[in-house]
Structure 1
């Protein structure tokens, strides 16, 4: 009897060890899944590059890290996603300096100043500078970790329901902008009446006359089919928009060093892919806009200067400049012009 009991105990312990080890191995093998949400629609460069990112991170991590994609704001508004990140969720989105200014790092807002950059090389000079690294560290203390800053989003142009050739033509026109003081004052400096709206609400707002136009890169304008409800495009190029991908500091710090490296490297590699397809996709977008009945206007040098001169007001608006470190504009321009 005693032998029987001993044998039974041995069997129970052995089975427990097998199942216990199995559960442990299963837990280790379970991949880290990051949900990536963005406003862009399927087929836009950002979306295509994120699909490439899926492949890259899967390969680099041997399947232990994966990203799930949610285009067209399927995961929610940018501000809601950022709140989730700060709370520790495994969520990622693309965001820009204007949003980071709203999240406690006001100097970051200058990267969205109109006509700040003359080329993409100017952008990379700034993102690779010590100043940019310092701002990124400040953002980490606010709960957000930038994992990549090398994505070209595009030159932002203005699509409207009536022709615009100069800042004077924008007076009284309600132009959709993102809900950020930097965006709002940036377009106010160009003479328009900025109207904050989520991008997903703009098509209907144009139909109903709530707004008279919007500004965005060509690929985004085409991706949203805005040529169906607004027919005049001015290539004012008021912002050279590079974008960043961001996760929560709490989530990022919970990853191993190897996982952090894989996440950052894969995001940067996908950014290079994004940049490589931008020109082709912009050309396709332009053809689609024109085919949709859009009249495209390229401002003359004199008209472009009117926009640039008008934009200078942005850098002295109290709502913006009073929150900046003294001498910020000169410091940033010195980095760009170095």
Structure 2
């Protein structure tokens, strides 16, 4: 507990120092601004800096995407807006960063619907439900839908602004310390998931015992067999070197994980409309770059994992159907998550899928 408090305090002090710096040079994340054109929107030539903290390595596709975003934003803004990346949880955990945003700090992080469900928009959590999407096209159709726009608007009312949603994080697979060849093999296994209710229940319905944990703690937990496995896209599993301590990977693709970058709504609303557009448009462009890098590198990462001794299972359609059948009970738990009536059917319709 003391370590968590210290880490949280460090993150808040760093963010506070950043806010003070911006105020001193004429730009700030003014929490009282609700329009376009607050203090941070100064057009006097002062540089506005956004700190982006995330759990992943800078060498992963997502890290390369952030570097591209920084480059594009600096170019679009003529050097008046900059992004500083902080990989490897240097600014604290995802939840700590989101808490900082709620205070109006000029920070941004990668987050998903499962986290947003815990921050006052329960229906958003369904996008992280197991085996919801059958293809990436369904993801992109959904983020362009009226339903998705309404979820983003509700989140903004809670103090969080989604900047961009067209980033692939990757298909999430399961890496374990002992073989998993079917959904039945997950029974009783302790599988690390991010710290949110949706992903916990999403693995529990498959028969596993979900264990919420920060990504930075997973390597040691696998090494000491405190947990039996972890789930994430191939790029992240390899980037965090988790395959060194867990040698079995099943390509179940239980979540097609598109991801979003989120910041303080108050801070965003303190920018001018032009600055807001620069931030969003370059974020979307960087997302497309990230997706290209991810697609190119995933197969290379997978081959390297095999070369380094990982046993990879590519499940048959029959085996995958077993996972999907087991997962279906998740969508009967709407009352547990506080979902709107008929949410599953609504979302399937929004993405052009038969419920």
Is the structural similarity TM-score above 0.5?
A: yes
Unaligned stretches of 5+ residues in structure 2: 1-24, 27-41
CA distance in 1, matches of 2:147, 2:251: 31
Give the aligned CA root-mean-square deviation in angstroms.
1.4
TM-score normalised by L of structure 2: 0.86
Distance 2:336 2:134 in 1: 22
Partner of residue 231, structure 2: 215
Question: Contact 1:314 / 1:320 at 8 angstroms: preserved in 2?
Answer: no
- Please tell me whether Structure 1 or Structure 2 has the larger radius of gyration of its CA atoms: 1
Judge conservation of contact 1:58–1:66 (CA < 8 Å) in 2.
yes
Match of 2:281 in 1: 265
Counterpart residue number, 1:52: 68
Contact 1:178–1:197 (CA under 8 A) maintained in structure 2: yes
Q: Displacement, 1:42?
A: 2.1
Checking the alignment, whether the CA contact within 8 Å between 2:145 and 2:351 is kept in structure 1 is no
Once superposed, which parts of structure 1, at least 4 consecutive aligned residues long, lie more than 3 Å away? Answer: 318-321
Q: Secondary structure at the match of 2:327?
A: helix
Shift of 1:28: 2.5
**Matching residue of 2:15:** none
Query: Following the alignment from structure 1 to structure 2, what is the Cα–Cα distance between the partners of residues 115 and 207?
Result: 29
| Structure 1 residues not aligned, in runs of 5+ | 1-22
Match of 2:298 among 270, 282, 285: 282
Mapping for residues 1-338 of structure 1, pairs under 5 Å: 28-317=44-333, 320-321=336-337, 323-337=338-352
- Aligned-partner Cα distance in 2 for 1:80–1:335: 32
Aligned counterparts of 2:336 and 2:76: Cα–Cα separation in 1: 42
In 1, Cα distance between the equivalents of 2:346 and 2:87? 36
- Structure 1 contact 153–243 (Cα < 8 Å) conserved: yes
Q: How many residues align?
A: 314
State the 1:320 CA deviation: 3.7
TM-score, structure 1 as length reference: 0.91
Q: Which has the higher helix share?
A: 1
> What are the superposed Cα offsets for residues 120-150 of structure 1, whole Å, 9 maximum, x if unpaired?
1100111000000001000001000001000
